[in-house]
């Protein structure tokens, strides 16, 4: 045996790893590389979202019809309580108020479901996270995409309701597409944030239904914010109208419903909708990426 010293003698483990090109397993890649990896998994993201959507109601006899029946039943309950008993329509004609309510329920459910799915995206799929190497953002993005597909399926019923109450297809219906794109970006960013929080705090899944219910009541799902708060301080109505859930609902209502004109929208509404979407999509993605190496380690 040779007693000559090795050139590696005296090097620390970190120096040895650097010398021989070793990297930490599951280390967070650079942001640009992470985006590239995520784009490379786009087929998995789509297939996973479709599989989850199919399996969601697989045990129910009505199957995928519950995608439409659930928000419609919620809208019927809200109409009875808020429209009939509490008279939250406040003089709004029934041919406007019913599509107004149904649109609000469908659009807010899109955000609500994306948030709730995001909370469990990592904590509810630990087996997948620990067994396979892939960018973890694929999971919350996939769940947000699942909710978008569910909303698109439900839009057929929303169109029928609108037409049934006198709102026929016109040029403004084309605005539905950019409104949904902006809301999807906002929801995806929010799902990414909630996925990071839910990964470290599983109990968040028990708290979020109460938070979402409060957000729903504050967003004008069942009533017009300017009309209902006409006798309240103006700043309160402004805060509620500028919140993103209200913004996306109002854009959809403006596009879809005859009689719901631009006077019901806050100023620069499209710029605000785009700002919320960009802020949450970019900020949520970066925030999630910063904890990439910690997911599934607990």
Please tell me which residue, 50 or 177, carries the higher pLDDT value: 177
Q: What are the extents of the domains in the chain?
A: 30-294
C-alpha to C-alpha distance for 88 and 229, rounded to whole angstroms: 11
Q: What percent of the chain has pLDDT over 70?
A: 84
Cβ atoms within 10 Å, residue 105: 27
Secondary element (H or E) of residue 26 = none
pLDDT of residue 182: 98
High-pLDDT (> 90) share of the chain, %:
47
Alpha-carbon distances, residue 13 vs 6, 17, 21, 29, 294 (angstroms)? 15, 6, 12, 21, 22
Residue 276 sits at the vertex; the CA angle it makes with 275 and 282, to the nearest 5 degrees, is: 85
DSSP assignments along 14-42, one per residue = HHHHHHTT---TTPPPPHHHHHHHHHHTH
DSSP state of 265: S
- 165's enclosing H/E stretch is none
Higher pLDDT, 54 or 204: 204
Give the pLDDT band (50/70/90) at residue 86: low
Q: What is the pLDDT of residues 126-165, one digit of tens each?
A: 888 888 888 999 999 999 999 999 888 888 888 988 898 8
* pLDDT given for residue 1 in this prediction: 47
Distance of alpha carbon 96 from alpha carbon 89, whole angstroms: 9
Q: Which residue has the higher pLDDT, 60 or 185?
A: 185
**What per-residue confidence (pLDDT) applies to 227?**
83
Number of neighbouring beta carbons within 10 Å of residue 297? 10
SS3 161: helix
Q: Is residue 109 predicted with pLDDT exceeding 60? A: yes
pLDDT at 229 over 60: yes
Question: Residue 22: pLDDT band by 50, 70, 90 thresholds?
Answer: very low
The mean of the pLDDT values for the chain is 85
For the ranges 20-24, 80-84, 177-181, 252-256, which has the lowest average pLDDT?
A: 20-24
The tens digit of pLDDT for each residue in 24-61 reads: 555 788 999 999 999 999 999 999 998 888 777 666 55
Residue 202's pLDDT is what? Answer: 83
Interacting residues of 214 by C-beta distance below 8 A, sequence separation 6+:
none
Checking if the pLDDT of 91 tops 60, the result is yes
Q: Give the pLDDT score at 30.
A: 92
Contact present, 257 and 167 (Cβ < 8 Å): yes
């Amino acid at each position: 045996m040779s007693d000559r010293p090795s050139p590696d003698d005296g090097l620390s483990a970190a120096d040895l790893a650097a010398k021989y090109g070793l990297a930490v397993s599951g280390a967070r890649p650079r942001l640009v590389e992470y985006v590239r990896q995520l784009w490379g998994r786009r087929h998995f993201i789509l297939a996973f979202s479709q599989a989850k959507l199919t399996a969601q109601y697989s045990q129910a006899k009505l199957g995928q019809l519950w995608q439409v029946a659930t928000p419609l039943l919620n809208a019927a309950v809200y109409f009875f309580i808020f429209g009939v008993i509490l008279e939250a329509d406040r003089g709004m004609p029934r041919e406007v108020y019913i599509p107004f309510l149904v649109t609000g329920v469908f659009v807010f459910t899109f955000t609500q479901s994306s948030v709730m799915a995001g909370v469990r995206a990592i904590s509810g799929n630990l087996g997948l996270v620990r067994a396979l190497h892939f960018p973890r953002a694929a999971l919350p993005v996939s769940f947000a995409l699942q909710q978008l597909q569910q909303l698109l399926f439900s839009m057929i019923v929303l169109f029928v309701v609108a037409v049934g109450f006198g709102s026929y297809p016109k040029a403004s219906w084309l605005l539905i597409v950019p409104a949904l794109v902006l809301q999807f970006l906002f929801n995806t960013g929010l799902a990414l944030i909630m996925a990071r929080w839910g990964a470290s705090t599983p109990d968040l899944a028990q708290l979020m239904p109460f938070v979402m219910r409060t957000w729903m009541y504050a967003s004008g799902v069942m009533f017009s914010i300017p009309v209902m708060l006409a006798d309240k301080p103006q700043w309160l109505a402004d805060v509620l109208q500028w919140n993103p859930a209200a913004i996306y609902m109002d854009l959809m209502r403006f596009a879809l419903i005859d009689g719901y004109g631009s006077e019901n929208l806050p100023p620069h509404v499209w710029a605000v909708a785009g700002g919320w979407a960009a802020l949450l999509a970019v900020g949520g993605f970066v925030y999630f990426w910063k904890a990439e190496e910690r997911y599934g380690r607990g």
